[in-house]
Structure 1
Amino acid sequence: MSRALQPDEELVELDAEAVRTWCARAFDALGREREEIDAINVYPVADGDTGTNLYLTAEAAHRAVEAVFAASRPDTAEAVRAMAHGALLGARGNSGTILSQLLRGTATVLADGCDGDHLAR
């Protein structure tokens, strides 16, 4: 059975539980920092919602990963695909769209392997 990765634990190969943990932590971090990101937003227009858009996109990715875990015991590729797909469907604004495309690229590369070399690509 999978377990949560501890903050000081070294990860040798990315697994589904690590993807789940990363999604949860990214969502939490953006929740804490979104107002500050909104306040410094200047590109492409100073509309003050970049942090909120990133947060909402990360929330959609996190929910998609949790949904795949609730339905089955996903492998790493399934968890990463769920994360990318959730982010795409929940993308808000330019920043959310960019984030979803970064996650899509990550999912594409990790479909071929989940070691450090693949993650670095």
Structure 2
Amino acid sequence: MNISGSLFAQAVVSAANHIINEKSKVDELNVFPVPDGDTGTNMSMTMQGGKKAVEALEDTAPVGEVAKAFATALLRGARGNSGVILSLLFRGFSKGLKGREEANGSDVAYALKLGVEGAYKAVMNPTEGTILTVARLAGEAGEDAAM
């Protein structure tokens, strides 16, 4: 099954809504590497901009265009370290889908890999046990599933 721009848009809007609705739970989980309790808040604020950008697109927008609009809005609206890292993950992801009308499993796995690589490179001292680890493991699972 391929992922259309419309389906990808629905997925990121759903993800944004979930993070927005559960931000206090994510804040409570935020104990490592710095227990400042704002990861959920920062991620929800970051995702709100991405959600608005995607909702403004036509339903017929290709997946590459949706990914780029989402990533650009995340970067512009990033809040805190977690928001910046989230935006960098999607920046790389969007590069992997550039020019795509639809995406198949291999395309998504490649995009995840680019997102993870970009985020790890951007963080001065990448620490395991953070959003980076979750993204890396998701990327590895995506690669395994695409084979």
Determine the structure 1 residue equivalent to 2:28. Answer: 39
Query: Sequence identity, in percent?
Result: 36
Q: Compute the displacement of 1:43 (Å).
A: 2.8
Equivalenced residues, count:
108
Gaps in structure 2 of 5+ consecutive residues: 111-147
Please report the TM-score for the alignment, with normalisation by the length of structure 2: 0.68
Gaps in structure 1 of 5+ consecutive residues: 1-11
Which of 56, 64, 79 is 1:92 aligned to?
A: 79
Determine the structure 1 residue equivalent to 2:13. Answer: 24
Task: Please tell me whether residue 119 in structure 1 is matched to residue 108 in structure 2.
Answer: yes
Q: Compute the displacement of 1:44 (Å).
A: 3.2
Name the structure, 1 or 2, with higher relative contact order (CA <8 Å, separation 6+): 1
8 Å Cα contact 1:112/1:118 also seen in 2: no
Please report the TM-score for the alignment, with normalisation by the length of structure 1: 0.82
Determine the structure 2 residue equivalent to 1:75. Answer: 62
User: Can you list the C-alpha shifts for 1:16-48, whole angstroms capped at 9, x where unaligned?
Assistant: 111210111111111222101101212332211
Instruction: Write out the 4+ residue segments of structure 1 that deviate beyond 2 Å after TM superposition.
Output: none
